[in-house]
Amino acid sequence: QELCSALEQENVQLLTAKEAVEQRTQELRKEGDLIYENMLPTLPEKKMVFKGVVTNKEDINKLILTPLIRYPLPGGSALITFEKAEVAQRIIAAKEHVVELSYGEELEELDRCRVRVRAAPVDVLLPSALEIRVTRSTRSIVVSDLPGLDVPQEALLDKLELFFSKTKNGGGEVESREFLDNTGQVVLTFAQDGVAEPLIERGHMQVLIGKGKYDLKISPCVTGDIASLQLQPSRCPSTVLLSGIPDVLAEEPMRDALEIHFQKSSRGGGEVDALAYVPAGRQGVAVFMEDEG
User: What does the mean pLDDT of the chain come to?
Assistant: 80
Would you say 272 and 113 are in contact if contact means Cβ atoms under 8 Å apart? no
| pLDDT above 70: residue 80 | yes
| pLDDT above 90: residue 27 | no
| pLDDT above 80: residue 56 | no
Q: Where are the alpha helices (DSSP H) in 44-135?
A: 85-94
pLDDT per residue as tens digits for the range 126-156:
877 777 888 889 999 999 988 877 778 888 8
Q: Stretch 114-126: mean pLDDT, rounded?
A: 88
Q: Stretch 157-179: mean pLDDT, rounded?
A: 92
Which helix (H) or strand (E) segment holds residue 4: the answer is helix 2-39
Confidence at residue 100, expressed as pLDDT on a 0 to 100 scale: 82
| pLDDT above 70: residue 110 | no
Confidence at residue 31, expressed as pLDDT on a 0 to 100 scale: 58
pLDDT per residue as tens digits for the range 170-188:
999 999 999 887 778 899 9
Nearest to 280 by CA among 232, 235, 242: 242
Nearest to 214 by CA among 155, 142, 160: 160
Would you say 81 and 238 are in contact if contact means Cβ atoms under 8 Å apart? yes
With b meaning 16 or more CB within 10 Å and e meaning fewer, what string describes 78-113?
bbbbbeeeebbbbbbeeeebebebebeeeeeeeeee
- Poorest-pLDDT segment among 26-30, 120-124, 288-292: 26-30
Q: Which residue has the higher pLDDT, 143 or 45?
A: 143
Angle at 35 between CA 29 and CA 37, to 5 degrees: 105
| pLDDT above 60: residue 277 | yes
Confidence at residue 165, expressed as pLDDT on a 0 to 100 scale: 93
Whether the model pTM is above 0.75:
no
Residues 6+ apart with CB under 8 A from 93: none
Q: Stretch 83-96: mean pLDDT, rounded?
A: 92
pLDDT per residue as tens digits for the range 8-23:
666 666 677 667 767 7
Which helix (H) or strand (E) segment holds residue 133: the answer is strand 114-144
